Structure 1
Amino acid sequence: MLQGFPPVVNEKTHTLILGSFPGETSLHAYQYYAYKQNQFWRLMSASLELDLINLEYEQRLNSLLAHGIGLWDVFHSCIRSGSLDSAIRQGKLNDFTSLQANHPQLKKLYFNGQTAGKMQAYFQERGYLTAILPSSSPAYAMRSFDEKLKDWQKALRADIR
Protein backbone atom coordinates (compact mmCIF):
# COMPACT_ATOMS: atom_id res chain seq x y z
CA MET A 1 0.00 0.00 0.00
CA LEU A 2 1.45 3.37 -1.05
CA GLN A 3 1.00 6.35 1.29
CA GLY A 4 0.27 9.90 0.11
CA PHE A 5 1.20 13.27 1.59
CA PRO A 6 -0.40 15.50 4.23
CA PRO A 7 -2.42 18.48 3.05
CA VAL A 8 -0.74 21.77 2.28
CA VAL A 9 -3.16 24.16 4.01
CA ASN A 10 -3.18 26.94 6.55
CA GLU A 11 -5.71 29.27 8.18
CA LYS A 12 -5.95 31.38 4.98
CA THR A 13 -6.59 28.51 2.56
CA HIS A 14 -9.90 29.10 0.79
CA THR A 15 -9.25 26.94 -2.28
CA LEU A 16 -7.83 23.43 -2.42
CA ILE A 17 -6.52 21.72 -5.53
CA LEU A 18 -7.05 17.99 -5.29
CA GLY A 19 -5.12 15.47 -7.33
CA SER A 20 -5.85 11.78 -7.21
CA PHE A 21 -2.60 10.40 -5.74
CA PRO A 22 1.10 11.30 -6.16
CA GLY A 23 2.99 9.62 -8.98
CA GLU A 24 6.15 7.60 -8.48
CA THR A 25 8.53 10.56 -8.96
CA SER A 26 6.56 12.67 -6.49
CA LEU A 27 6.48 9.86 -3.92
CA HIS A 28 10.25 9.40 -4.16
CA ALA A 29 10.90 13.15 -3.92
CA TYR A 30 8.18 13.60 -1.28
CA GLN A 31 6.90 16.59 -3.26
CA TYR A 32 3.62 17.30 -4.98
CA TYR A 33 4.00 17.35 -8.77
CA ALA A 34 7.72 16.54 -8.82
CA TYR A 35 7.63 14.88 -12.24
CA LYS A 36 9.19 17.46 -14.60
CA GLN A 37 6.79 16.73 -17.47
CA ASN A 38 3.75 17.34 -15.30
CA GLN A 39 2.37 20.77 -16.19
CA PHE A 40 1.04 21.63 -12.74
CA TRP A 41 3.69 24.19 -11.74
CA ARG A 42 3.60 25.80 -15.20
CA LEU A 43 -0.19 26.07 -15.03
CA MET A 44 -0.07 27.55 -11.54
CA SER A 45 2.71 29.98 -12.50
CA ALA A 46 0.79 31.28 -15.49
CA SER A 47 -2.54 31.38 -13.63
CA LEU A 48 -1.14 33.27 -10.65
CA GLU A 49 1.29 35.31 -12.77
CA LEU A 50 4.20 34.15 -10.59
CA ASP A 51 7.42 32.33 -11.40
CA LEU A 52 6.91 29.24 -9.26
CA ILE A 53 9.04 27.06 -11.50
CA ASN A 54 12.35 28.62 -10.47
CA LEU A 55 11.56 28.52 -6.75
CA GLU A 56 12.58 25.83 -4.29
CA TYR A 57 9.74 23.44 -3.44
CA GLU A 58 8.99 24.97 -0.01
CA GLN A 59 8.88 28.44 -1.58
CA ARG A 60 6.40 27.17 -4.17
CA LEU A 61 4.14 25.87 -1.43
CA ASN A 62 4.44 29.10 0.55
CA SER A 63 3.53 31.12 -2.56
CA LEU A 64 0.41 29.05 -3.10
CA LEU A 65 -0.57 29.40 0.55
CA ALA A 66 -0.02 33.17 0.38
CA HIS A 67 -2.68 33.21 -2.36
CA GLY A 68 -5.10 31.11 -0.28
CA ILE A 69 -4.49 27.97 -2.34
CA GLY A 70 -3.66 24.57 -0.88
CA LEU A 71 -2.85 21.11 -2.22
CA TRP A 72 -3.93 17.61 -1.35
CA ASP A 73 -5.08 14.40 -2.96
CA VAL A 74 -8.35 12.54 -2.92
CA PHE A 75 -6.67 9.32 -1.80
CA HIS A 76 -4.60 8.84 1.34
CA SER A 77 -3.30 5.47 0.20
CA CYS A 78 -3.71 3.01 -2.64
CA ILE A 79 -2.15 0.17 -4.54
CA ARG A 80 -0.72 1.21 -7.88
CA SER A 81 1.96 0.08 -10.25
CA GLY A 82 3.43 3.04 -12.11
CA SER A 83 1.98 6.54 -12.03
CA LEU A 84 -1.19 6.39 -14.10
CA ASP A 85 -4.47 7.22 -12.36
CA SER A 86 -6.09 4.33 -14.22
CA ALA A 87 -3.82 1.93 -12.29
CA ILE A 88 -5.06 3.06 -8.84
CA ARG A 89 -6.59 0.18 -6.88
CA GLN A 90 -8.07 0.06 -3.39
CA GLY A 91 -7.90 3.83 -2.95
CA LYS A 92 -8.63 5.00 0.60
CA LEU A 93 -10.03 8.52 0.92
CA ASN A 94 -8.21 11.18 2.88
CA ASP A 95 -9.87 12.46 6.06
CA PHE A 96 -11.90 15.31 4.63
CA THR A 97 -14.21 15.43 7.65
CA SER A 98 -11.31 16.58 9.86
CA LEU A 99 -10.06 18.92 7.15
CA GLN A 100 -13.45 20.60 6.90
CA ALA A 101 -13.80 20.85 10.70
CA ASN A 102 -10.32 22.36 11.08
CA HIS A 103 -10.51 24.67 8.06
CA PRO A 104 -14.02 26.16 7.86
CA GLN A 105 -12.69 28.95 5.60
CA LEU A 106 -12.04 26.35 2.89
CA LYS A 107 -14.89 26.75 0.39
CA LYS A 108 -13.66 25.69 -3.07
CA LEU A 109 -12.21 22.46 -4.36
CA TYR A 110 -10.69 22.16 -7.81
CA PHE A 111 -9.99 18.65 -9.06
CA ASN A 112 -6.86 18.16 -11.13
CA GLY A 113 -8.32 15.79 -13.70
CA GLN A 114 -11.20 13.38 -14.11
CA THR A 115 -10.02 10.68 -11.68
CA ALA A 116 -9.99 13.09 -8.76
CA GLY A 117 -13.15 14.67 -10.19
CA LYS A 118 -15.10 11.44 -9.70
CA MET A 119 -15.49 12.60 -6.10
CA GLN A 120 -17.13 15.89 -7.08
CA ALA A 121 -20.67 14.97 -5.94
CA TYR A 122 -19.34 13.75 -2.57
CA PHE A 123 -17.79 17.15 -1.89
CA GLN A 124 -20.71 19.15 -3.24
CA GLU A 125 -22.94 17.33 -0.72
CA ARG A 126 -20.61 18.64 2.00
CA GLY A 127 -21.11 22.24 0.89
CA TYR A 128 -18.03 22.85 -1.23
CA LEU A 129 -18.04 24.72 -4.52
CA THR A 130 -16.25 22.46 -7.01
CA ALA A 131 -14.90 22.31 -10.54
CA ILE A 132 -12.99 19.72 -12.52
CA LEU A 133 -9.94 21.17 -14.27
CA PRO A 134 -8.12 19.48 -17.14
CA SER A 135 -5.41 17.22 -15.81
CA SER A 136 -1.90 18.62 -15.59
CA SER A 137 -0.56 15.12 -16.26
CA PRO A 138 1.47 14.59 -19.44
CA ALA A 139 -0.67 11.48 -19.96
CA TYR A 140 -3.60 13.81 -20.71
CA ALA A 141 -2.43 14.97 -24.11
CA MET A 142 -5.82 15.47 -25.75
CA ARG A 143 -5.61 19.17 -24.92
CA SER A 144 -2.69 21.49 -25.41
CA PHE A 145 -1.07 23.39 -22.56
CA ASP A 146 -2.72 26.61 -23.76
CA GLU A 147 -6.16 24.98 -23.80
CA LYS A 148 -5.65 23.65 -20.28
CA LEU A 149 -4.34 27.02 -19.13
CA LYS A 150 -7.53 28.84 -20.15
CA ASP A 151 -9.58 26.64 -17.82
CA TRP A 152 -7.07 26.87 -14.97
CA GLN A 153 -6.84 30.66 -15.27
CA LYS A 154 -10.59 31.09 -15.40
CA ALA A 155 -10.98 29.13 -12.17
CA LEU A 156 -8.00 30.43 -10.22
CA ARG A 157 -8.01 34.09 -11.16
CA ALA A 158 -11.44 34.43 -9.60
CA ASP A 159 -10.00 33.09 -6.34
CA ILE A 160 -6.75 34.95 -5.85
CA ARG A 161 -6.82 37.79 -3.42
Structure 2
Amino acid sequence: MTGQAQRAASFSRGFPPVYSPGARILILGSLPGARSLEAREYYAQPQNAFWRIMGALYGSGPELAYEARLARLTEHAVALWDVLAAGQRPGSLDSAIVRPTAVTNDFASFFERNPSLRSICFNGATAAELYRRKVLPALDSRFAAIPRRTLPSTSPAHARMRFAEKLAHWSAALTPARDTGADQT
Protein backbone atom coordinates (compact mmCIF):
# COMPACT_ATOMS: atom_id res chain seq x y z
CA MET A 1 0.00 0.00 0.00
CA THR A 2 1.39 3.41 -0.89
CA GLY A 3 1.81 6.18 1.68
CA GLN A 4 -1.10 8.07 0.11
CA ALA A 5 -3.31 4.97 0.19
CA GLN A 6 -2.40 4.36 3.84
CA ARG A 7 -3.29 7.96 4.72
CA ALA A 8 -6.61 7.70 2.89
CA ALA A 9 -7.38 4.38 4.56
CA SER A 10 -6.77 5.84 8.01
CA PHE A 11 -9.02 8.88 7.48
CA SER A 12 -11.96 8.39 9.85
CA ARG A 13 -15.38 9.99 9.77
CA GLY A 14 -17.36 10.21 13.00
CA PHE A 15 -21.01 9.68 13.79
CA PRO A 16 -23.91 12.09 14.15
CA PRO A 17 -24.76 13.23 17.65
CA VAL A 18 -27.11 11.21 19.82
CA TYR A 19 -29.50 13.50 21.69
CA SER A 20 -33.08 14.44 22.33
CA PRO A 21 -34.64 17.83 22.99
CA GLY A 22 -33.95 18.87 26.55
CA ALA A 23 -30.46 17.33 26.72
CA ARG A 24 -28.61 18.73 29.74
CA ILE A 25 -25.28 16.89 29.52
CA LEU A 26 -23.10 16.47 26.44
CA ILE A 27 -20.45 13.76 26.61
CA LEU A 28 -17.70 14.27 24.03
CA GLY A 29 -15.11 11.79 22.89
CA SER A 30 -12.39 12.59 20.37
CA LEU A 31 -13.12 10.45 17.26
CA PRO A 32 -14.44 6.88 16.99
CA GLY A 33 -11.80 4.16 17.07
CA ALA A 34 -11.44 1.35 14.55
CA ARG A 35 -13.80 -1.06 16.34
CA SER A 36 -16.49 1.63 16.71
CA LEU A 37 -16.19 2.61 13.06
CA GLU A 38 -16.51 -1.02 12.02
CA ALA A 39 -19.60 -1.56 14.20
CA ARG A 40 -21.01 1.96 13.54
CA GLU A 41 -21.51 2.33 17.30
CA TYR A 42 -20.06 4.69 19.89
CA TYR A 43 -17.63 2.89 22.21
CA ALA A 44 -17.93 -0.51 20.53
CA GLN A 45 -14.56 -1.77 21.86
CA PRO A 46 -15.68 -4.33 24.50
CA GLN A 47 -12.81 -3.41 26.83
CA ASN A 48 -13.83 0.26 26.83
CA ALA A 49 -15.49 1.03 30.17
CA PHE A 50 -17.92 3.63 28.77
CA TRP A 51 -21.01 1.43 28.60
CA ARG A 52 -20.27 -0.20 31.95
CA ILE A 53 -20.13 3.27 33.50
CA MET A 54 -23.32 4.33 31.73
CA GLY A 55 -24.91 1.11 32.97
CA ALA A 56 -24.03 1.93 36.55
CA LEU A 57 -25.26 5.53 36.25
CA TYR A 58 -28.25 5.27 33.91
CA GLY A 59 -29.09 1.59 33.42
CA SER A 60 -27.59 1.86 29.94
CA GLY A 61 -25.10 -0.98 30.19
CA PRO A 62 -23.57 -3.29 27.60
CA GLU A 63 -26.13 -6.02 28.31
CA LEU A 64 -28.69 -3.91 26.41
CA ALA A 65 -28.88 -3.66 22.65
CA TYR A 66 -27.07 -0.59 21.33
CA GLU A 67 -30.25 1.30 20.40
CA ALA A 68 -31.70 0.63 23.88
CA ARG A 69 -28.51 2.01 25.47
CA LEU A 70 -28.80 5.18 23.42
CA ALA A 71 -32.48 5.51 24.30
CA ARG A 72 -31.69 5.24 28.01
CA LEU A 73 -29.08 7.98 27.73
CA THR A 74 -31.43 10.34 25.94
CA GLU A 75 -34.18 9.58 28.47
CA HIS A 76 -31.75 10.86 31.12
CA ALA A 77 -31.01 14.04 29.12
CA VAL A 78 -27.54 12.85 28.11
CA ALA A 79 -26.23 13.61 24.62
CA LEU A 80 -23.29 11.81 23.03
CA TRP A 81 -20.93 13.03 20.30
CA ASP A 82 -17.28 13.54 19.40
CA VAL A 83 -15.22 16.69 19.09
CA LEU A 84 -14.04 15.64 15.64
CA ALA A 85 -16.24 14.99 12.63
CA ALA A 86 -13.28 13.51 10.77
CA GLY A 87 -9.55 13.14 10.83
CA GLN A 88 -6.67 10.90 10.01
CA ARG A 89 -5.95 8.29 12.66
CA PRO A 90 -4.20 5.03 11.98
CA GLY A 91 -5.53 2.65 14.63
CA SER A 92 -7.58 3.67 17.64
CA LEU A 93 -5.26 5.56 19.96
CA ASP A 94 -6.02 9.24 20.49
CA SER A 95 -2.30 9.91 20.31
CA ALA A 96 -2.38 8.70 16.68
CA ILE A 97 -4.79 11.45 15.56
CA VAL A 98 -2.95 13.56 12.99
CA ARG A 99 -3.86 17.01 14.35
CA PRO A 100 -3.57 19.00 11.08
CA THR A 101 -6.18 16.69 9.48
CA ALA A 102 -8.69 17.11 12.32
CA VAL A 103 -12.08 18.49 11.27
CA THR A 104 -14.36 19.54 14.12
CA ASN A 105 -18.08 19.03 14.37
CA ASP A 106 -20.43 22.02 14.06
CA PHE A 107 -20.90 22.87 17.72
CA ALA A 108 -22.44 26.30 17.17
CA SER A 109 -25.40 24.73 15.34
CA PHE A 110 -25.64 21.92 17.88
CA PHE A 111 -25.72 24.37 20.79
CA GLU A 112 -28.34 26.51 19.02
CA ARG A 113 -30.57 23.42 18.75
CA ASN A 114 -29.92 22.40 22.37
CA PRO A 115 -30.30 25.44 24.61
CA SER A 116 -30.91 23.33 27.72
CA LEU A 117 -27.32 21.98 27.81
CA ARG A 118 -25.80 22.62 31.24
CA SER A 119 -22.54 20.70 31.07
CA ILE A 120 -19.97 19.28 28.69
CA CYS A 121 -18.03 16.27 29.92
CA PHE A 122 -14.99 15.11 27.99
CA ASN A 123 -14.13 11.43 27.80
CA GLY A 124 -10.43 11.95 28.33
CA ALA A 125 -7.84 14.67 28.01
CA THR A 126 -7.46 14.45 24.22
CA ALA A 127 -11.12 15.30 23.64
CA ALA A 128 -10.82 18.23 26.05
CA GLU A 129 -7.64 19.50 24.41
CA LEU A 130 -9.07 19.23 20.88
CA TYR A 131 -12.18 21.13 21.97
CA ARG A 132 -10.14 23.81 23.74
CA ARG A 133 -7.82 24.36 20.78
CA LYS A 134 -10.08 23.80 17.79
CA VAL A 135 -13.66 24.55 18.90
CA LEU A 136 -13.66 26.99 21.80
CA PRO A 137 -11.92 29.92 20.03
CA ALA A 138 -14.64 30.06 17.35
CA LEU A 139 -17.66 29.78 19.68
CA ASP A 140 -20.00 32.59 20.59
CA SER A 141 -19.44 33.59 24.24
CA ARG A 142 -22.78 32.12 25.39
CA PHE A 143 -21.71 28.70 24.09
CA ALA A 144 -18.13 29.05 25.25
CA ALA A 145 -19.50 29.63 28.77
CA ILE A 146 -21.10 26.17 29.02
CA PRO A 147 -19.31 24.52 31.96
CA ARG A 148 -16.81 21.82 30.97
CA ARG A 149 -15.23 18.96 32.83
CA THR A 150 -12.52 16.54 31.77
CA LEU A 151 -13.09 12.98 32.98
CA PRO A 152 -10.78 9.97 32.94
CA SER A 153 -10.78 8.24 29.59
CA THR A 154 -12.86 5.08 29.48
CA SER A 155 -10.46 3.64 26.89
CA PRO A 156 -8.66 0.41 27.70
CA ALA A 157 -5.47 2.34 26.85
CA HIS A 158 -6.06 4.31 30.08
CA ALA A 159 -5.37 1.24 32.20
CA ARG A 160 -3.53 2.95 35.05
CA MET A 161 -6.88 3.86 36.62
CA ARG A 162 -9.13 1.06 37.83
CA PHE A 163 -12.79 0.84 36.86
CA ALA A 164 -14.09 1.76 40.33
CA GLU A 165 -12.02 4.95 40.32
CA LYS A 166 -13.19 5.90 36.82
CA LEU A 167 -16.78 5.27 37.86
CA ALA A 168 -16.39 7.49 40.92
CA HIS A 169 -15.09 10.38 38.79
CA TRP A 170 -17.82 9.98 36.19
CA SER A 171 -20.53 9.68 38.85
CA ALA A 172 -19.32 12.81 40.65
CA ALA A 173 -19.44 14.78 37.39
CA LEU A 174 -22.63 13.46 35.81
CA THR A 175 -24.97 13.25 38.78
CA PRO A 176 -24.84 16.97 39.71
CA ALA A 177 -24.80 18.02 36.04
CA ARG A 178 -27.93 15.99 35.39
CA ASP A 179 -29.72 17.37 38.42
CA THR A 180 -28.68 21.02 38.67
CA GLY A 181 -25.95 21.95 36.18
CA ALA A 182 -22.22 21.78 36.81
CA ASP A 183 -19.42 24.14 37.69
CA GLN A 184 -16.58 24.48 35.23
CA THR A 185 -13.45 22.68 36.42
Please tell me the TM-score bracket, short chain as reference. over 0.9
Secondary structure, in 3 states, of the residue corresponding to 1:109?
A: strand
Query: What CA distance in whole angstroms lies between the structure 1 residues aligned with 2:178 and 2:85?
Result: 27
Alignment of 1:78-93 (within 5 A): 78-89=87-98, 90-93=101-104
- Structure having the higher strand fraction is 1
Higher relative contact order (CA 8 A, sep 6+): 1
1:159: Cα distance to partner? 3.1
Whose helix proportion is higher, 1 or 2? 2
What is the CA-CA distance between 1:55 and the residue it aligns to? 0.8
Match of 2:156 among 125, 138, 143: 138
Structure 1 stretches lacking a partner, 5+ long: none
Aligned residues: 160
TM-score by length of 2: 0.82
> Contact conserved, 2:60 with 2:68, CA < 8 A, in 1?
no
Q: Structure 1 residue runs of 4+, over 4 Å off?
A: none
TM score, norm. by length of structure 1: 0.93
- Aligned twin of 1:24: 34
Alpha-carbon distance, 1:29 to partner: 0.6
% identical equivalent positions = 43
Trace 1:89-108 onto structure 2 (pairs within 5 A): 89=98, 90-108=101-119
CA distance in 1, matches of 2:97, 2:23: 28
Change (3 A) 1:39 1:155: same
Unaligned runs of 5+ in 2: 1-10, 180-185
Q: Are positions 1:152 and 2:170 aligned together?
A: yes
Q: Which has the higher mean CA deviation after the structures are superposed, 122-131 or 15-24?
A: 122-131
Over aligned residues, Cα RMSD in angstroms? Answer: 1.6
